[in-house]
């Protein structure tokens, strides 16, 4: 009996744990993004200001609070309000986002300066941030989604990328605490997207 149970358990694959169809998921994402187009525009403006502050080595606490707001919106609105309606596991991801908010705010209390990195490293980071802000909306549109799907705060992957770029410029060694949770979110999201793509193909 144990052997049968074990055999049955190993017969499952990751695809068996997907609780919704690709059509349901993308319909939910599209409706969510269409309802928050203005937030995407506000995020673009706020991110541009944050990039300027990063270049000038000014107000890192303000930048951290901005990133915390992005994570708060992602956890509260995307995971806990919308995504949870089709996937009850999304609530765990929402609480992970809120934990990231707490870490960001804790570091904002402690941290008061960016790293004095080499000029080239700073230029590369700023270039990557700007490239992300431009390419992610283009990728979203090319995949049939609203442009705001490429904006941090609204969707997980852009939030992770932008968050890691900014926090990598902080001077404190405590910044490494800000890496694990975004990486975990990214892994879960990439696995989900992979499963959704696989379902569409088959």
Q: How far is residue 44's CA from residue 50's CA, in Å, rounded to a whole number?
A: 10
Q: Which long-range contacts (CB under 8 A, 24 or more apart) does 98-102 make?
A: 98/71, 98/72, 99/181, 100/68, 100/71, 100/75, 100/163, 100/178, 100/181, 100/182, 101/68, 101/71, 101/72, 101/75
* Region 144-148 average pLDDT: 84
Which pLDDT score is estimated for 39? 85
- In angstroms, the CA 74 to CA 156 distance is 7
Give the integer Cα–Cα distance in Å for 106 and 61. 10
Q: List pLDDT tens digits, range 71-121.
A: 999 999 999 999 999 988 899 999 999 999 999 999 988 877 777 666 667
pLDDT one-digit tens code per residue, 18-30 = 777 888 888 999 9
Structure tokens at 150: 């490429």
What are 189's two structure tokens? 């999201």
Q: What's the pLDDT at 6?
A: 62
Mean pLDDT, the chain, as a whole number? Answer: 84
pLDDT in tens, 63-73: 899 999 999 99
pTM here? 0.84
pLDDT the model gives residue 150: 86
């Amino acid at each position: 009996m144990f052997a049968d149970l074990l055999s049955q358990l190993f017969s499952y694959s990751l695809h068996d744990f997907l609780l919704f169809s690709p059509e349901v998921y993308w319909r939910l994402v599209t409706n969510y993004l269409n309802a928050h187009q203005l937030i995407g525009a506000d995020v673009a403006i706020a991110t541009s200001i944050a990039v300027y502050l990063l270049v000038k080595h000014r107000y890192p606490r303000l930048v951290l609070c901005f990133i915390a707001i992005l994570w708060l919106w992602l956890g509260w609105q995307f995971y806990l309000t919308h995504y949870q309606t089709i996937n009850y596991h999304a609530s765990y991801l929402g609480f992970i986002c809120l934990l990231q908010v707490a870490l960001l705010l804790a570091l904002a209390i402690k941290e008061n300066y960016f790293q004095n990195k080499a000029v080239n490293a700073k230029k590369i980071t700023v270039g990557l941030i700007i490239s992300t802000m431009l390419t992610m909306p283009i990728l979203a549109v090319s995949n049939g989604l609203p442009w705001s799907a490429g904006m941090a705060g609204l969707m997980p992957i852009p939030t992770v990328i932008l968050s890691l770029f900014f926090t990598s410029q902080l001077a404190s060694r405590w910044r490494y605490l800000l890496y694990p949770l975004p990486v975990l979110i990214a892994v879960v999201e990439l696995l989900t997207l992979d499963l959704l793509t696989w379902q569409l193909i088959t």
